[in-house]
Amino acid sequence: MSTGVSFETSTLNLAAAVYHASFGAALYSDPNAFAPSGASPLKYTEDAEGPVGKFTARSFGAMMLGMGSIGLFDKESEGVTKMFAIVMALFSPILAANTKEDSAGAGHTQMWKLQSLLHVPFTALMVYKAFFDKKSE
């Protein structure tokens, strides 16, 4: 008998793919998408500085968009779940740092705190499913 909530691998992979692809598409198309000059109502940082800042933000968007596309090609894969879990776990300390005023998120720490309410539990769920859920083995 199974108790508790269980999520299918394909459901989590789709959710992670949409999560990554949405941020990625925005940054790829506009490196300032989530900055004061950007179209998004969500503001995470100040505008990218110069060509290097725009390159970095756009490149980050390209990587996120690319990671999101894997959900279309191999949605049942536990390897995909593990990849998303690792990426999200690696990003979590960066997100946490941006909740402080002396960080890249300075001036936008409330947005980073709100983002952490989604990102941290989602990350925990992905890590659990990828590495600790014995039912999926």
**Hey, what are 80's tokens?**
């995909």
Instruction: Give me the pLDDT at residue 106, please.
Output: 85
Q: Note whether residue 94 is domain-resident.
A: yes
Asked if 32 contacts 48 with a C-beta cutoff of 8 angstroms, the reply is yes
DSSP of 3-68: -S----HHHHHHHHHHHHHHHHHHHHH-TTTTSTTSS-S---SPPP-HHHHHHHHHHHHHHHHHHH
Q: Note whether residue 103 is domain-resident.
A: yes
Tens-binned pLDDT, residue by residue, of the chain (137 aa): 455 667 899 999 999 999 999 999 999 999 999 999 999 999 999 999 999 999 999 999 999 999 999 888 888 999 999 999 999 999 999 999 999 988 888 889 999 999 999 999 999 999 999 999 977 55
Instruction: Give me the pLDDT at residue 5, please.
Output: 67
Q: Note whether residue 3 is domain-resident.
A: no
By CB atoms closer than 10 A (0-12, 13-18, 19+), residue 51 is exposed
**Hey, what are 2's tokens?**
């199974």
Instruction: Give me the pLDDT at residue 104, please.
Output: 86
Q: How many domains are there within the chain?
A: 1
Instruction: Give me the pLDDT at residue 7, please.
Output: 87
Cα 12 to Cα 76: distance, rounded to the nearest angstrom:
9
Domain hosting residue 102, numbered range: 9-131
Q: Note whether residue 1 is domain-resident.
A: no
Instruction: Give me the pLDDT at residue 1, please.
Output: 47
Cα 43 to Cα 38: distance, rounded to the nearest angstrom:
8
